[in-house]
Amino acid sequence: MWEDWLLIVRFNRKDGDAFRRIYLKYRSDLLKVAGALLSDQGAAEDVLHDVFMNFARQAGSFRLRSRLKAYLAICVANRARDVNRRERQRRTSGLDAVEEPVSPQPGPAHPLVERERAERLAAALALLPFEQREVIVLHLQQGLRFREIARLQALSPNTVMSRYRYALEKLRSSLNGEL
Amino acid sequence: MRNEKEPNLVSAMKTYLRFTPCQSSGNLDERILTDGLAAMGEAPYESSAWSGWDVGRIIMRSRIGKLALAALVVVSVLLIGFPGQWGESSAWALEQTIEALKPYRAAYLSGTLMSKDGHPTAFEMWMRANPTGVASQEMLLRTTAGGLVWVSEGKSYQHTRGDKTVYYEDALTQGISHWFGPHLFILLGQSDHLEVTESRDERTLVMRGSTINMNGPTAWEFVVNRDTHLPVSVKQWSTMDHSGAPGFAATEILYYDDLPDSTFQPEISQEVTYQEIPPQIVETNLSVLGGSRFGLAVNGRTYEAAAQDILQQTYEAIITRDLDTIRRLCPLTSLTTDAYLETLLLVKTPEQAIASIDQVGGIVKRGHSPLGPFVVVPCTVTRQDGSHWRTPLIVQFRGSGASESCVVYGPYGMPVQIIDDL
């Protein structure tokens, strides 16, 4: 927190090294958020790029009102939501009007989860509506508190907790008690 | 049944999400950093970046100042304490060092200072504590590059060999206040990441930590002799994580019961002239100080009466922990989070918390910024431990006529402890 606060002070002085350190510090976490929310690795990278461009444009006037990690993770989620919405509109306006769930991408082997189990978890996650997947990712992957998510997304904490609860129900149903 | 399954599900999903390998294309970092830096350059400045009290701003302008400041922050009073926890062994080691330092009132340090442009310079430094053993009373630092910095009787001086002018400020603007002794180590012990580790040299222990003071992030490392428990070397970085070359590295520390007064007399030509550096307000802070939602209306009062009123209200807000009022009266604090503000202004160590306001004095200095006139008013407070401290504060006036108002900018230099002569 203190380190971030000071990085922001330097960032607001347009210190390029501070921007670089903030980026390197949170790049992996944020790429994981984008990767978990979108089907396409290229799209996830574009989201990260857009978020950091918007962030850079605030140098000189940025005010840190929450944890920097939480702020950036929410920015990524918001941007991913826009990308997801555009993609859905593109699909529904085209010949293929059926919404497709995000399909998990085959990636490198998971270091801690067996491949088959990882695929089942990815598939179950992909079946969730975006706003539920978003809460699962922000809370379970990034450790954001429900109140934090609610405040940064201008939602009520009850809404966020309900989404989380529904998401768990759906995951449980999708996985059919396999865990 | 449901409750039994849920922890498994949550745990499995958490493990899956958190440890999913993160892949990115090779040029992602370059693309984002290049574009981001370009976007940063085009971003407009809207407000001040630095929201802390800006002490040391003037001395930082000179080459000597850059070097001196690096040294002086080691003994800065403004270590912002974290209510941190540390292990029993760390606490024990710290206690031993605190106890070992008690008999000594003076010290000599030598080593290397690193200038901002990366040039090392050798230095030697003498220090002596005040009668309470809490604050540094005298200090003199000399560098091989001809720099001379010293503090005496509440004033800060700087001079370069061969120059005909000695520049000084009528305040402890160089950040020195705490004696290199027990109290400093008590404060350092409150830093968030204090750790004591074994050294490669079996005769020593290494104490490392990081904290924040008015000069920004500060990481430090003391090597302590296992037998004497006294620090034998100290390094300091301007980062929180000890990265990069230390800005200050004292490789030799000698302790004395006392040192003669002559030690602290700088060798200055009789022909030099003394030139006071007036207090200034950092330009980038002006936009924040000018904000209309801040401040207190002057209402036709004299500058002195208005300044005394706003400072009285500010201290009362600090004592009652009324953050909203502090933010309204001191605009720079509006940029901070509650947690930071509480730590910065309200809680250093419990005994250092301000207990009462003794006196808000009259105007001792005047200046002018693009916003309008400002004044310096000394305030005296009593802390919870019963000690009395004097801090000059800058009050900035804005506007004119019926709309004239004032805001508190911050302290002009470090607080100075007032010792009662019995």
Q: What is the pLDDT of residue B71?
A: 34
Q: How confident is the model at residue A105 (pLDDT cuts 50, 70, 90)?
A: low
| Alpha-carbon span B149 to B168, nearest angstrom | 10
More confident residue, B24 or B274: B274
A165 reaches B (C-beta below 8 A): no
**A17 and A10 in contact (C-beta within 8 Å)?**
yes
Flag whether pLDDT at B291 surpasses 70.
yes
- Cα(first)–Cα(last) distance of chain A, in Å? 36
Flag whether pLDDT at B70 surpasses 50.
no
Q: What is the pLDDT of residue B28?
A: 87
The DSSP letter of residue B24 is -
Flag whether pLDDT at A37 surpasses 60.
yes
Percent of chain B surpassing pLDDT 70: 70
A171 reaches B (C-beta below 8 A): yes
Contact A179 B9 (CB under 8 A): yes
Phi, psi of B131 (to 5 degrees): -60, -25
Q: How confident is the model at residue A56 (pLDDT cuts 50, 70, 90)?
A: very high
The residues near B116 (Cβ < 8 Å, ≥ 6 apart) are B66
Q: What is the pLDDT of residue B113?
A: 82
The pLDDT tens digits for B10-26 are: 888 888 888 777 767 77
Q: How confident is the model at residue B325 (pLDDT cuts 50, 70, 90)?
A: very high
Maximum mean pLDDT: which of A24-33, B167-176, B216-225, B226-235 = A24-33
Residues 24-53 of A with CB under 8 A from B: 24, 27-28, 31-32, 35-36, 41-42, 45, 48-49, 52-53
Q: Which residues of B25-56 are buried (b: 16+ CB within 10 A; e: fewer)?
A: eeebeebbbeebbebbeebeeebbbbbbbbbb
The pLDDT tens digits for A126-176 are: 899 999 999 999 999 999 989 889 888 888 889 999 999 999 999 988 887
Q: How confident is the model at residue B346 (pLDDT cuts 50, 70, 90)?
A: low
Flag whether pLDDT at B104 surpasses 90.
no
Q: What is the pLDDT of residue B361?
A: 95
Instruction: Taking residues B361-387, report their average pLDDT.
Output: 91
For residue B211, CA distances in Å to A6, A136, B252 come to: 11, 35, 23
ipTM above 0.90 for this complex: no
| Alpha-carbon span B80 to B240, nearest angstrom | 13
Which of A1, A5, A20, A54 is the best residue to mutate to test the B interface, defined by the most B CB atoms within 10 Å of its own CB? A5
| Alpha-carbon span A134 to A123, nearest angstrom | 15
Q: What is the pLDDT of residue B57?
A: 26
Task: Tell me the β-bridge partners of A92.
Answer: none
CA atoms within 13 A on the CB side of B302: 5
Instruction: Taking residues B163-179, report their average pLDDT.
Output: 72
3-state secondary structure of B285: helix
Give the CA angle between residues A44, A49, A53 to the nearest 5°.
Answer: 150
Beta strand segments in B100-230, E? 106-114, 120-129, 136-143, 147-152, 155-160, 165-169, 195-198, 204-213, 216-225
The pLDDT tens digits for B110-131 are: 888 876 667 788 888 888 887 6
Q: What is the pLDDT of residue B224?
A: 85
Residues 73-102 of A with CB under 8 A from B: none
Beta strand segments in B245-399, E? 248-256, 273-276, 296-297, 354-360, 365-369, 372-383, 388-398
Q: What is the pLDDT of residue A107?
A: 56
> Which amino acid, A41?
Q
More confident residue, B217 or B267: B267
Q: What is the pLDDT of residue A76?
A: 94
Task: Compute chain A's Rg from CA coordinates.
Answer: 17
Q: What is the pLDDT of residue B86?
A: 33
**A71 and A22 in contact (C-beta within 8 Å)?**
no
Q: What is the pLDDT of residue A98?
A: 47
In this structure, of B146-150, B232-236, B315-319, the range with the lowest mean pLDDT score is: B146-150
Query: In chain B, which residue's Cα lies nearest the Cα of A107?
Result: B21
The pLDDT tens digits for B45-63 are: 543 322 222 222 222 223 3
Flag whether pLDDT at B135 surpasses 50.
yes
Flag whether pLDDT at B65 surpasses 60.
no
pTM: 0.49
More confident residue, B335 or A139: A139
Kindly report the average pLDDT of chain A as a whole number.
82
More confident residue, B333 or A78: A78
Task: Tell me the β-bridge partners of B369.
Answer: B372
Maximum mean pLDDT: which of A60-64, B61-65, B360-364 = B360-364
DSSP B349-367: SGGGSEEEEEEE----EEE
Q: Is B102 left (phi over 0), alpha (psi -120 to 50) or beta?
A: alpha
The full 3-state SS of B29-66, as one line of letters, equals: HHHHHHHHHHHHHHCCCCCCCCCCCCCCCCHHHCHHHH
Label the pairing between strands B388-398 and B416-418: antiparallel
Q: What is the pLDDT of residue B178?
A: 56
Task: List chain A residues with CB under 8 Å of B25.
Answer: 41-42, 45
Q: Which two tokens stand for residue B169?
A: 């400020």
Flag whether pLDDT at B168 surpasses 60.
yes
Contact A23 B340 (CB under 8 A): no
Instruction: Taking residues A85-104, report their average pLDDT.
Output: 62
Q: What is the pLDDT of residue B60?
A: 27
Which residue has 């940063």 as its token pair?
A: B40
Flag whether pLDDT at B379 surpasses 90.
yes
Q: How confident is the model at residue B345 (pLDDT cuts 50, 70, 90)?
A: low
For residue B49, CA distances in Å to A76, B22, B165, B226, B392 come to: 24, 33, 33, 44, 23
Kindly report the average pLDDT of chain B as a whole number.
75
A127 reaches B (C-beta below 8 A): no
Q: Which two tokens stand for residue B371?
A: 């916003």
For residue B147, CA distances in Å to B63, B118, B121 come to: 8, 16, 10
Maximum mean pLDDT: which of A41-45, B22-26, B133-137 = A41-45
Residues 340-379 of B with CB under 8 A from A: 340
| Alpha-carbon span B109 to B282, nearest angstrom | 32
Task: List chain A residues with CB under 8 Å of B218.
Answer: none
Contact A56 B8 (CB under 8 A): no
**B207 and B219 in contact (C-beta within 8 Å)?**
no
Give the closest-approach CA distance of B419 to chain A in angstroms: 34
Give the CA angle between residues B31, B36, B40 to the nearest 5°.
Answer: 160
In this structure, of B73-77, B167-171, B369-373, the range with the lowest mean pLDDT score is: B73-77
User: What element of type H or E holds A147?
Assistant: helix A146-152
Facing A19 at nearest CB: one of B28, B37, B216: B37
Flag whether pLDDT at B376 surpasses 80.
yes
Instruction: Taking residues A103-107, report their average pLDDT.
Output: 52
Give the closest-approach CA distance of B3 to chain A in angstroms: 12
Facing B217 at nearest CB: one of A6, A61, A177: A6
Flag whether pLDDT at B5 surpasses 50.
no
Flag whether pLDDT at B393 surpasses 60.
yes
DSSP chain A: -HHHHHHHHHHHTT-HHHHHHHHHHHHHHHHHHHHHH-S-HHHHHHHHHHHHHHHHTTTTT----S-HHHHHHHHHHHHHHHHHHHHHHHHHHSS--SPPPPPPPP-SPPSSS-HHHHHHHHHHHHTS-HHHHHHHIIIIIT---HHHHHHHTT--HHHHHHHHHHHHHHHHHHHTT--
Q: What is the pLDDT of residue A93?
A: 67
A-B Cβ pairs (cutoff 8 Å, strict): 166
Phi, psi of A19 (to 5 degrees): -60, -45
More confident residue, B155 or B287: B155
3-state secondary structure of B381: strand
Instruction: Taking residues B87-99, report their average pLDDT.
Output: 61
User: What element of type H or E holds A171?
Assistant: helix A157-175
More confident residue, B225 or B86: B225
